[in-house]
Structure 1
Amino acid sequence: MRFVDPPELLDCNCSICAKTGYLHLIAGPADFTLLNGADVLTDYRWGTGTARHLFCARCGIKSFYVPLSHPNDISVNWRALDDVGDIVPRIVAFDGISPGKTTEQRMGSS
């Protein structure tokens, strides 16, 4: 995966992200390639069904998914990545609990 310098991570305050500690690294489809493990992924959807919450059926880790806020992109869980300890990301608050806002309005609030 390629990173901009510094990578920008979204810290969402919705119940799922806040309780699991998920930090979103948003990547375009061209910047993300799943090398293996697709056969053990399971997904969970609710509400509109737009978000595809993907989990490893063996260990339960949610390392990436298709988020409601960025339905044409992939959100990679920064905390599930290996070898990023020396990279200092820029963390941006993201309001994932307030209905009726655009993605742009949700950035930087929380």
Structure 2
Amino acid sequence: MKYKGSCHCGQVAFEAEGELTQVTECNCSICSKKGALQWGVSPASFRLLTSAESIATYTFGEQTIKHRFCPKCGVHTFAEGVLLGRSMVVVNARCLDGIELSSLPVKHFDGRSL
């Protein structure tokens, strides 16, 4: 299934395709502060609908994951990088349109221990 999503103000918009059967909650330092519920898709299943220039990027630590967010409204929309040995885009499921998040199971990931 194809899902559309965006930040609060709409400056960052995207599509992601796949089966959304669960979301992941990570307890690492950045994810716990953002409160994002994550859904991982392959880079081929993700399409940015707005220009790359409309997105801000934050990296930290080993700088392997690019945390993408809207510089206007501040909402974290997705992240890109190599996660657990494979290239991935991690969408903030809270930014997806028409999703009832309470109906999805939440998997907990211990990112603090990495």
Q: Same fold by TM-score, threshold 0.5 exceeded?
A: yes
Cross-structure match for 1:32:
46
> Partner of 2:111: helix, strand, or coil?
coil
Q: CA deviation at 1:21?
A: 1.1
Higher strand share: 2
Quote the Cα distance in structure 2 between the aligned partners of 1:64 and 1:36.
13
Report sequence identity in percent.
34
Quote the Cα distance in structure 1 between the aligned partners of 2:82 and 2:31.
13
Distance change in 2, residues 1:96/1:23 (3 Å): same
The normalised TM-score by structure 2 is 0.74
1:90 aligns with 2:113: no
Quote the Cα distance in structure 2 between the aligned partners of 1:86 and 1:73.
21
Cross-structure match for 1:50:
64
Amino acid in structure 1 at the alignment position of 2:74: G
Q: CA deviation at 1:37?
A: 4.2
Distance change in 2, residues 1:91/1:56 (3 Å): same
**For this pair of structures, how many residues does the alignment match?**
98
CA RMSD of aligned residues (A): 2.0
User: Which 4+ stretches in 1 moved above 3 angstroms?
Assistant: none
The normalised TM-score by structure 1 is 0.77
